[in-house]
Chain A
Amino acid sequence: MKLRRIQAIAVKEALQIVRDPRSLMIALLVPLMQMVIFGYGVNLDIRHIPLCVLDHENGQQSRNLVARFAASNYFSLRHAAGSDREVTRALDDGDCGIALVIPADFSQRLNDGGQATVQALLDGTDSNTANIAAGYAKSVVAAFSATAQLDAVQRRGGTLQTQTPVGVQARVWFNEALESRNFIVPGIVALVMAIVGTQLTSLTIAREWERGTMELLVSTPVHPMELMIGKLLPYFAVGLADAAICLGLAVFWFEVPFHGTVVTLLFTSSLFLTVVLCIGYLVSVAIRSQVGASQVALLATMLPTTLLSGFSFPIEQMPAAVQGATFLVSARYYVEILKAVFLKGAGVMELAVPILCLALYAAVVVVLAARAFRKTLD
């Protein structure tokens, strides 16, 4: 291994990057734009679920109930339906996520001191939203029920047995306001870096094949390992700049609380960057056409990092076999590290396990990538 050869390759590759300012600009702009779109677009806080009401009674009590729904942050009243058919239509069209059907004898039942039931029809297509919407609807109705009960008892001149026999005092750790942004934005950093990092290097070797410069490369005395290091170094610099942009946006723009240290962040980010750059390089060596390399790189990064890294979907809820597959997704470890560094302020010691996994991962892909490149032309 000779430093001079590595340097020569690195300089050549860096020149190529600089000479293609458009690609470089894209490489730096992509993270910026992605962070903003993801940061605002990826939001699991469910608010303003479109509500449609079919009030068969249209009396004082039923209007009170509808007013409570309209006043809550969770629902936004879209329209009042006149018939069952309109309710069906609103749900079919996706105009409303929940429809409230109030029976004609609603007030009467309440005034008689009995039990009234309102029907909530939910669009179960989006099961997560439906589930949370049903919970919200129950809590709105429970609050209404409590008031109605209090009224009824007072009218009778009695005293009230407490409405909530068990009071839940919840405390939330690490993300007190339960803002999904605080756990999603660190995940987005991992996602953007995985995608951009792989993308940067996945065409480097394929390009040499297609342009016919591979013959030249093979005829030089360069060693595969030297070639790899030389090719990756300039992209490592670009990748670090990307990481700085992403992490900076997370802290200063999205104001995700940052409890950890910059050193931990820098160290783990470099490790992750090594992994993704090497994966890109490996793809590039293995597949000789640029279309093919891009196809594999896209399929290997975009959906797996989104779905399998634990960035949005909890890994514990996946079946065992799929959980096993997540161990092969390097972003999984980085997401875990980022969340812990940001929200829990974890240091290198607490993160020993994911860091070691990532280091092992890096070692394996480095060796694979270096060995995959053979200096033959067939």
Chain B
Amino acid sequence: MLGRILHLLIKEFLQLRRDKSARFRLLIPPIVQMVLFGYAATFEVFNVSTVILDQDRSQESRALEEAFLRSSRFALAAPARRVADVRDAVEASDAQVGIVIPAGFAELLRKGQTAPLQVLVDGTNSNSALIALGYVGQIAGDFGQGYARNLAERTGRLQGKPIVSVDVAERYWYNPNLNSRWFFVPGVIGTLTLITIVNLTAFAIVREREVGTLEQILVTPIRPVEFIIGKTLPFFLIGLLEVSIVAGVGMAWFRVPFRGNPLVLLLGTCLFLLAALAIGLLISTICRTQQQAFSSNFFVLNPLFILSGFSFPIASMPPVLQWLTYVDPLRYYLMIIRATFLKGVGLETLWPQMLALAAIAAVLLAAAVLRFRKSLD
């Protein structure tokens, strides 16, 4: 049995070796994509283009304006003289945020009343808008609190008693500087691998069938299981290689820390690759032509990607989709890969994910072998 598998394996590798563009395709694009996407995937909000109109022209309004610009969250995009300028800038997308400090701002502050600050936000990208608004609120809030405290101390309204207040001391675990690359780079590793492996495997058997070489192989004494093993083992090895290369780029280039046990990641990767291979095999046994296999790949890969929690939080999805995420192997692999990279946890924490991956792989592989046998008669 081993001999026959080995022969098939050698044949597959020979085929790969002869295809020079295949070697290129399998190595260069993932590296380039890793670097590109590592930079592209970020929800961070810095230097939001902003117009500020100061109608009050007081010491207070200037201090507030300075607080905005000092924060590095907002960057002055264009000067504004009238309210219409602010509106035009946001409308023409020259600025994402427009801030108007109305006349009488300082007077209200001094009287201890709430001084209004008008903010105009382009909501087209709701996530950026939401975060930018959060920063406006924080900066205005801090400024106001500081002013109020200052005023209270100067006017002696506190009579020696401190203001009652509750603070939050927030600490970010695993990623103290909230570097979004640490979150996305492991995600890109998993996604790139999934796309490559499912696609390669899906084409493997369909191609033999379409070209007509499947019959030739089937008249040899090889058994279906041996055939499948021999066909998929090369892709398994390619998958391992791709994960190592892409992960290496992520660590060396983006300095994403690896805190866990490499063996745990290896185990997770193997289980994930088995599941990916099984998906490809299933597609391969269902489709008649490569064209069909290709469309099926899209049909399957995209939802797997979206439902994995790559960037869109699973907790925010409607319940039906949340259930669907439980059959998505990428979901578990992303948890494993992020946890081993950033959290440094081991099997004692990740065993449920490992089990889920193993179960998915086992069910899909069994289905693929059964379907393959049936498609032979």
Binding site for B on A (CB under 8 A): 20, 22-23, 26-27, 29-30, 33-34, 37-38, 40-50, 65, 89, 91-94, 97, 110, 113-132, 134-135, 137-139, 141-142, 144-145, 148-149, 151-153, 156, 161-162, 164-176, 178-180, 182-183, 195-196, 199, 202-203, 207, 210, 287, 289-292, 294-299, 302-304, 306-308, 312-314, 316-319, 321-322, 325-326, 339, 343-344
Contact of B147 among A165, A292, A307, A316 (CB under 8 A): A165
Residue of B nearest to A187 (CB): B125
Residue of B nearest to A182 (CB): B126
Question: With A and B bound together, what is the CA distance between A307 and B112 in angstroms?
Answer: 47
A-B contact pairs, 24 of them (CB 8 A): A22-B292, A26-B296, A33-B299, A34-B302, A38-B302, A47-B315, A110-B166, A113-B164, A118-B167, A121-B170, A124-B342, A145-B165, A152-B164, A153-B164, A164-B144, A166-B141, A169-B119, A171-B121, A182-B126, A199-B294, A210-B211, A297-B294, A298-B195, A321-B39
Which residues of chain B (115-143) have a CB below 8 Å from chain A?
115-131, 133-134, 136-138, 140-141, 143
- Check A170–B199 contact: CB distance below 8 A: no
- Check B176–A124 contact: CB distance below 8 A: yes
Residues of chain A lying within 8 A (CB to CB) of residue B192: 303
Contact of B292 among A26, A33, A128, A302 (CB under 8 A): A26
B303 at the interface (CB under 8 A from A): yes
A331 → chain B closest CB, angstroms: 13
- Residue count of chain B within 8 Å CB distance of chain A: 125
Question: With A and B bound together, what is the CA distance between A20 and B299 in angstroms?
Answer: 17
Contact status of A23 and B164, CB under 8 A, knowing A41-B312, A126-B183, A196-B298: no
B199-219: CB near A (< 8 Å → 1, else 0) gives 110010001001100000000
Tell me the interface secondary structure of chain A in the complex: helix
- Check A295–B199 contact: CB distance below 8 A: yes
Question: With A and B bound together, what is the CA distance between A43 and B313 in angstroms?
Answer: 7
Contact status of A299 and B41, CB under 8 A, knowing A114-B164, A290-B207: no
- Check B114–A318 contact: CB distance below 8 A: no
Contact of A174 among B123, B147, B320 (CB under 8 A): B123
B1 at the interface (CB under 8 A from A): no
B45 at the interface (CB under 8 A from A): yes
Residues of chain B lying within 8 A (CB to CB) of residue A152: 164
B114 → chain A closest CB, angstroms: 4
- Check B170–A120 contact: CB distance below 8 A: yes
- Check A128–B164 contact: CB distance below 8 A: no
- Check B129–A37 contact: CB distance below 8 A: no
Residue of A nearest to B113 (CB): A162
Residue of A nearest to B140 (CB): A166
- Check A37–B136 contact: CB distance below 8 A: no
Contact of A127 among B144, B182, B335 (CB under 8 A): B182
Contact status of A302 and B317, CB under 8 A, knowing A113-B164, A172-B121: no
Contact status of A319 and B315, CB under 8 A, knowing A125-B183, A169-B118: no
**Which of B5-13, B19-27, B240-248 touches A?**
B19-27
Contact of A124 among B47, B122, B175, B211 (CB under 8 A): B175
Residues of chain A lying within 8 A (CB to CB) of residue B164: 110, 113-115, 145, 148-149, 151-153
Residues of chain B lying within 8 A (CB to CB) of residue A166: 64, 109, 114-117, 140-141, 143-144, 147
B345 at the interface (CB under 8 A from A): yes
B167 → chain A closest CB, angstroms: 5
Question: With A and B bound together, what is the CA distance between A202 and B203 in angstroms?
Answer: 15
B90 at the interface (CB under 8 A from A): yes
Question: With A and B bound together, what is the CA distance between A29 and B246 in angstroms?
Answer: 33
List 7 tightest A-B contacts by C-beta distance, closest first: A124-B175, A165-B144, A124-B172, A175-B123, A166-B144, A172-B123, A128-B43
B59 at the interface (CB under 8 A from A): no
B270-299: CB near A (< 8 Å → 1, else 0) gives 000000000000000000111111111111
User: For chains A and B in complex, what number of residue pairs have CB atoms within 8 angstroms?
Assistant: 383
- Check A37–B169 contact: CB distance below 8 A: no
- Check A149–B113 contact: CB distance below 8 A: no
- Check A173–B121 contact: CB distance below 8 A: yes
Question: With A and B bound together, what is the CA distance between A39 and B290 in angstroms?
Answer: 29
Residues of chain B lying within 8 A (CB to CB) of residue A167: 114-117
Question: With A and B bound together, what is the CA distance between A23 and B288 in angstroms?
Answer: 10
16 further A-B pairs in the complex, CB-CB below 8 A; given A175-B124, A199-B294, A207-B291: A22-B288, A23-B295, A34-B303, A45-B316, A137-B170, A138-B170, A164-B114, A166-B144, A168-B140, A169-B119, A170-B133, A172-B122, A203-B290, A294-B294, A295-B196, A303-B37
Question: With A and B bound together, what is the CA distance between A166 and B65 in angstroms?
Answer: 13
Residue of B nearest to A192 (CB): B302
Contact of B315 among A49, A162, A172, A291 (CB under 8 A): A49
- Check B180–A199 contact: CB distance below 8 A: no
B371 at the interface (CB under 8 A from A): no
- Check B40–A93 contact: CB distance below 8 A: no
Contact of B317 among A23, A43, A117 (CB under 8 A): A43
Residues of chain B lying within 8 A (CB to CB) of residue A294: 199, 203, 290, 293-294, 297
A22 → chain B closest CB, angstroms: 6
Residues of chain B lying within 8 A (CB to CB) of residue A312: 311-312
- Check A33–B171 contact: CB distance below 8 A: no
- Check B171–A26 contact: CB distance below 8 A: no
A18 → chain B closest CB, angstroms: 14
